Amino acid sequence: MDVVVVGGGPAGRAAAAACSDTGLRVTLVDPSPRRGWPHTYATWRDELPASVPQSAVAAVTDRMFAYGTTRHEFHRPYAVLDNTALWKHLWRPDVVEVTGRAVAAEHGPTGSTVVLKDGRRIAGAVVVDASGAARVLTGGRPARGPAQQTAVGAVFDAEDAQALCGAESGLFMDWRPAPHTRGGWPTFLYAVRLGPDRVLLEETSLARRPGLPLALLRRRLAGRLAAAGVPIEHRLGEERVRFPVDDPLPRPGRVVPYGAAAGFVHPATGFSVAASLRQAPWLAGAISAGLTGGPAAAARAARSILWPPRAVSAHLLRRRALHALLTFPPELVPEFFESFFSLDLRHQSAFLSPDGDPATTAAAMSALFRIAPWQVRRRLVRGGLVLGRPVAQHGFGGE
């Protein structure tokens, strides 16, 4: 085998498909390789690569609203993915699927061997770790507890949810407090159409260490639904969200991390799926070209195409902004987002983009700094976000 991909989530499937399309022989290992993806995946439409077919998009909303302390409107289409169609789009008949759980990888001059929990061994020139937050072959879970995004969502018939999610629009973030919220860490309402007649209403904690309890989010969501007259008893299903948003970038090594395992989760949104779909052809191209120099060279080439120094710098800047935000007094968080949503779309998109460009990220942060109230500025500086000074140029994992 040329490539062994560990993990069959969106990142692993995208990596396997791209490697197969490049002519590489691929094995994909997952405890349940045929299991669909249960989560609701969304992204700005323009961040999906052109290769994702329209059929893999379940819904597109042309107008999104956001509230910091006042209302903002974005004419930037927002897409919810159709997981079944995307899975099929990424499935390849020549990718060998192995049902199993990877526990270790061994490396030699001619390639690597992935060791499964039941003792089976799979040899390949290059190993890709797309095991998500588990990062099974690239260091495992970091010792320090992560900042986590947590959320509780309820699915409704679109008609029932009309008061909070109109026919042609959605809510990216509504930071106005849920009714009867007495202090505490602020959370926001997220509202998107899942298809022509289904809507997801979700109370989200962007990041907190440790993650905000789901019971608290459920209570706040219930308060919002009651205040808007959305009948909670008509709820069709519940989505529970908990994942780390500030995992350090993995250290250099022979295994190539990919997707959430590789630090693709954006510190400001928690998104990683669009980035995994976009980067897959680059990953495959780097492995394919690098293999002429041997397995170790291919792994190095893949790592450096995924995380060039400029992308690492942009990532560190965004993480620093997140860590500064975690030190804010709760009442200032909506003020911070009020400033953020007041930026022009160019700056917002640059900061939220999955692509790492330190210059545009820093320009967006500087623009925010200029318009933010002094209390927000002071907190950003105290939180270690000193703009104007370039973030040190680290290699992959050099945090």
Binding of residue 172 to ligand FAD (CB under 6 A): no
Structure tokens that stand for 246 in this block = 């500030």
Of 4, 8, 26, 87, which lies in the binding site for ligand FAD, with binding defined by CB under 6 A? 8
259 binds ligand FAD (CB under 6 A): yes
Residue 89 binds ligand FAD (CB under 6 A): no
From the list 57, 34, 33, 32, the residue with the least C-alpha distance to 44 is 57
Examine residue 295 and tell whether it contacts ligand FAD (CB under 6 A). Answer: no
Cβ 190 to ligand FAD, closest distance in Å?
Answer: 9
User: 230 CB contacts (<8 Å, ≥6 apart)?
Assistant: 156, 160, 161, 163, 164, 201, 224
Residue showing the smallest CB distance to ligand FAD in the complex: 9
Contact region with ligand FAD (CB under 6 A), list: 208-216, 267-275, 317-325, 329-337: 267-275
- Can you tell me which of 25, 45, 92, 101 binds ligand FAD, judged by CB under 6 A? 101
Indicate the residue among 269 and 339 with the shorter CB distance to ligand FAD: 269
Site stretch for ligand FAD (CB under 6 A), options 18-26, 119-127, 129-137, 389-397 = 129-137
CB-hemisphere CA count at 13 Å for 271? Answer: 24
Binding-site member from 21, 25, 39, 342 for ligand FAD (CB under 6 A) = 39
DSSP 165: S
Amino acid at 41: Y
Please tell me what DSSP assigns to residue 89.
Answer: H
Report the side by side order of strands in the sheet with 121-124.
102-108, 111-116, 121-124
| C-alpha span between 294 and 73 (Å, rounded) | 51
With CB under 6 A as the contact rule, the residue among 6, 206, 343, 352 that binds ligand FAD is 6
Nearest residue to 15 (alpha-carbon basis) of 285, 269, 271, 251? 285
For 15, other C-beta atoms within 10 Å of its C-beta total: 31
| Shortest distance, position 41 Cβ to ligand FAD, whole Å | 4
CA atoms within 13 A on the CB side of 228: 19
Tell me the two tokens of residue 323.
């860590």
- Residues within window 238-257 making contact with ligand FAD, judged by CB under 6 A: 239, 241, 243
Handedness of CA 92, 96, 101, 107 (dihedral sign): negative
Closer to ligand FAD by Cβ: residue 10 or 170: 10
Q: How far is the CB of 153 from ligand FAD (least distance, A)?
A: 8
State which of residues 199, 273, 332, 352 lies at the interface with ligand FAD (CB under 6 A).
273
CB 240 within 8 A of CB 291: no
| Site membership for ligand FAD, residue 377 (CB under 6 A) | no
Residue 77: CB atoms within 10 Å: 14
Adjacent-strand bridge partners of 73: 65
In the numeric block, which tokens belong to residue 87?
Answer: 């899975």
Is 387 an interacting residue with respect to ligand FAD (CB under 6 A)? no
Q: Which is nearer to ligand FAD, 128 or 385 (CB)?
A: 128
Which member of 67, 271, 337, 340 binds ligand FAD (CB under 6 A)?
A: 271
**According to CB under 6 A, which one of 1, 3, 17, 41 is a site residue for ligand FAD?**
41
Is 31 a residue that touches ligand FAD (CB under 6 A)?
Answer: yes
For ligand FAD, which stretch binds (CB under 6 A), given 34-42, 69-77, 204-212, 374-382?
A: 34-42
Considering the rule CB under 6 A, would residue 170 count as an interface residue with ligand FAD? no
Closest among 330, 334, 367 to 351, alpha carbons compared: 367
Work out how close the CB of 188 gets to ligand FAD at its nearest, in angstroms, rounded to a whole number: 14
In angstroms, the CA 202 to CA 192 distance is 9
The footprint of ligand FAD (CB under 6 A) covers 6-12, 29-31, 39-43, 101-102, 130-132, 134, 136, 239, 241, 243, 259-260, 265, 270-274, 276
